[in-house]
Every structure is written in structure tokens, then in C-alpha cells.
Chain A
Amino acid sequence: MQRLGEFKLPAFFNYPPYFTLQPVRETREKQVQLWKELILDYCRNQKVFVVGLEEDFPLFSNPVIERSLSHEAKELFLSALVNEGRAEWMDKGHKKCLILWMRIQDWADYIVNFVKENGFEDSVMTVEDIRSGFESRGTDLAGIDRSVLMRALRLLEQKGKAAIFRGTSTDDEGVKFSV
């Protein structure tokens, strides 16, 4: 079984036709399904948030079998994720895609748990603390995409579980939890 770092690649990744868009509908549906799962699994495993279509992304080519995805195929697979709410295009030209391997709602729940477990109720944290603080180490919050984190925090704010303080720069934005 081929690996990418710690990540175990599925068998279909070594089967050349999966790198060519299939013309028959049922076969293509299956193909898209497998790629969607692979992209989500990989991003979750490697904590990848942004996939650039014009940059090197390890899943988009397989040097072992000398196959790589066409631009059309990449866009189709990511669009399928976008349609399911598991990804969002970051620009109109569809060059960059934000992968939500956890939905914003799930991130919000995750943060609430994190806050409870570490006793941060009613205390103030900076956004940077959440992303790279000591307590975040080893959790999914370590290195979380800033925009994803902010959206989860704003969702919590709407629910009255957090208050965001806007600082003078993005570096000192803070948040007070009241969960």
C-alpha cells in the first residue's frame, strides 16, 4: 500500500483510469464519490484547509503510475464537495478551495468542548492562543485556518456563547467564552 507520509492511500489511487474523467454516468459517479472521500480524509489527516488547483497538491498526481488529474477533473471533484457543503471556492476563478473537513457547526461544537475541558469558561483568549497556544497542541485546533476559526467563533457569538473583541490589528483579536 502506497503512503503519503502518515496517510494510507486507497487502492484506487494506483489504478490509472481513476485519473481520467469517466464518460459513463454511473462509473463517473462512483469515481467522484471515491475522490471526494479521499480529499476529505487526506485534508482531515494532514490538517489541510486550502487546496490550490494550480499548485502542487500530493493527491492530484501519482508519480508511481505517472498519472495526474486534469484541471477539469480537479474542479469537478472539488465542486462536488462544494455542492455538499464540505468545501467552498475562495475566488470566482475557482483557483483555491477551502476544505471543510469539519463543518463550521462542528468546529463550533469542538471549540465549546475545548473551552470546557480546559476551564476557559468566562476567560478571555486571543484568537492566536486558540490556534497555537499550549492547550491547543495535539488538538484539531492547532494550526486551524484563521477564517474557519473566525466563522466558528462568530457562530458561537450569534448563539451568545462567545463575545469577540476586535483589537487594533488581527493579531490581538480576542474572544470571551461564556458557555
Chain B
Amino acid sequence: MRRRPGIAGLQTAAATRDQYRLVGENVAKIRTDLMKEQLETFRTQLEEFARKHKNDIRKNPTFRSQFHEMCAKVGVDPLASNKGFWAELLGIGDFYYELGVQIVNICLETRPQNGGLIDLQELRNLLCQRHKATRESVSEDDCLRAISKLKVLGSGFEVISVGKKKLVRSVPTELNKDHNAILEMAQTNGYVTVEEIERKLSWSSGRAVDVLMSLLEEGLAMIDDGHRDGKRRYWFPCVSPISATSGSDQKN
């Protein structure tokens, strides 16, 4: 015979529900406490680590990049805000903000010479010169990090790969495939000639001249009519920094 629900049954059901809830709350509380405790430990450990290695992080670029890697693995971005405890503790945010400002400065200063495209190595050399006084060395990794932060400003700072080189672009020029092909070719000698382009890329001379003209217009190329073979050379300061060239024919 089926029992009809009575008051006692209802009360038991309510009591059971209460019991469950209580236990559940307890479990949740224990979990949160544990989590809090773990987080606290993690934080103090990380803090301790950072404090202990503060100088290493500031001075040693390899260590700095490893520290970043570690942070990335645990899902912490020390550069996300300049106000967090990271910044207060390490001044690491400041480091990259300053680097970013210096990068912008260098890009602007050298723009008349290179048309707003600079070799990452050259940029790093110039940065290191500025950092000589503080004896903090700057690695390529640091430059890339600082530049990635600059992207947020929407000012068109970008790192592009051309051949073996990484170039930092500070002007909103779009480089197409043809431009890239020529920049890549210029990495060998620092310059190209129309003849060389025709031969190596099997382009028509019209196409070669068109692309070279547009690179000249952008301020990325300079002409050189002074070689004794009489052939016009197109030089690219962004792939052959002016400071690094000497001599004319030793590379031929």
C-alpha cells in the first residue's frame, strides 16, 4: 500500500536538505580557506622570490626573461598594471615603460634616416648606449616586450620579420610582398640594383623600378650613383645601419 505524504515525511525531507546544505557550506568554506591559504603562500613565496632576486631581475636580461616565462606559466602578468604589488615591489613595470618611451624616441630620431623602419639589433644597440650609465643591459626579449606594450597605444608600432632580420616599424606604412622581397635581398650587401632584382627575382625592370620608387618615396631607400660601374645602387638604412657600414666593395 502506498503511503501518503505526512507531516513527518515533509519534516524529514526538510531536515535532510538542511543537513546537506550545511555540509556543502562547510566543504566550500574549507575549500576557500585552503585556496586562500595556498594563494597566500604562493604570493609570499613569489614576493620573497622577487625580493630576493630583485637585482637580478633588474640587471640580468636572461634572468628577467626567465622570470617572465615563469609568471606567464602561473598566469600572472607583471606588466598588466603599474599599480599592482609587482610594480611597487620590482619597479618592473617602470622598466618597460621607460624602455617603451626610449624606443619611441629612438624611432622618431632615426626616422629621417631610415624612413621609420629600424633593424631590431640596431635599435637594441642604441638602447644599450643609453643604458650604459645605469649598466642595465637590454635584451632583444625586453625590446619585444616593450614594443608589444606600445601596440596598445595604436600608434602602429610593430615588429616584422624580413628574411633573417627583425625590423621595427614605427610608421603606418604597409609593406607588401614586393617590398619585403627587396628588403630581404638588400640584407646581403646593404643595397640592390635593378639588374640584380631582375636576375634574382625574375621581375620585369618596370616592376623592379616601380617598387624601388615607392620605397624611395617612403624614405626607406636612398640612391647611390657614385660607384665606378655606373649602375645605380639603392641602399636601405633599415637593413644596413649607417653606423655599421664601412668600405664599399669588401663584401662583393
Contacts and interface: CB of A to CB of B under 8 A. Distances in A.
A29 B248 CA distance: 24
Contact of A20 (B217, B224, B245): B224
A26 B112 contact: yes
B226 interface: yes
B248 A11 contact: no
A64 B246 contact: yes
B165 to A, nearest CB: 18
Contacts of B219: 24, 26-27
A30 B110 CA distance: 11
Nearest to A29: B112
A68 B249 CA distance: 15
A14 interface: yes
Contacts of B227: 16, 66
A11 B113 CA distance: 12
Task: Choose among B112, B222, B235 the residue with the greatest number of A CB atoms under 10 Å from its CB.
Answer: B222
Interface in B216-252: 216-217, 219, 222-228, 233, 235, 237, 242-243, 245-249
A16 B235 contact: yes
Contacts of A16: 191, 224, 226-227, 233, 235, 245, 248
Given A11-B242, A12-B242, A68 B113 contact: no
The number of chain A residues touching the other chain, given as a range, is 20 to 34
A15 interface: yes
A22 interface: yes
A17 interface: yes
Contacts of B225: 20
A4 interface: no
Interface string A1-39: 010000000011011111110111011011000000000
Interface residues of B, number: 24
Given A11-B243, A24-B216, A27-B219, A66 B228 contact: yes
A19 B216 contact: no
Contact of B113 (A14, A23, A30, A65): A30
Given A20-B225, A24-B219, A15 B235 contact: yes
A42 B54 CA distance: 48
A176 interface: no
Contacts of A67: 224, 226, 248
A119 B100 CA distance: 55
Contacts of A64: 246-248
A24 B246 CA distance: 24
Contacts of A15: 235, 237, 242, 245
B186 to A, nearest CB: 12
Given A15-B235, A20-B225, A23-B223, A65 B248 contact: yes
Given A16-B227, A22-B223, A30-B112, 6 more contacts: A11-B242, A12-B113, A20-B224, A24-B219, A27-B222, A64-B248
User: Lowest 5 CB-CB distances: which A-B pairs, in order?
Assistant: A17-B222, A30-B112, A67-B226, A17-B224, A65-B248
25 contacts: A11-B243, A14-B242, A14-B245, A14-B246, A14-B247, A15-B235, A16-B224, A16-B227, A16-B233, A17-B224, A19-B224, A19-B226, A20-B222, A20-B224, A22-B223, A24-B217, A27-B219, A27-B222, A29-B112, A64-B246, A64-B248, A66-B227, A66-B248, A67-B224, A67-B248
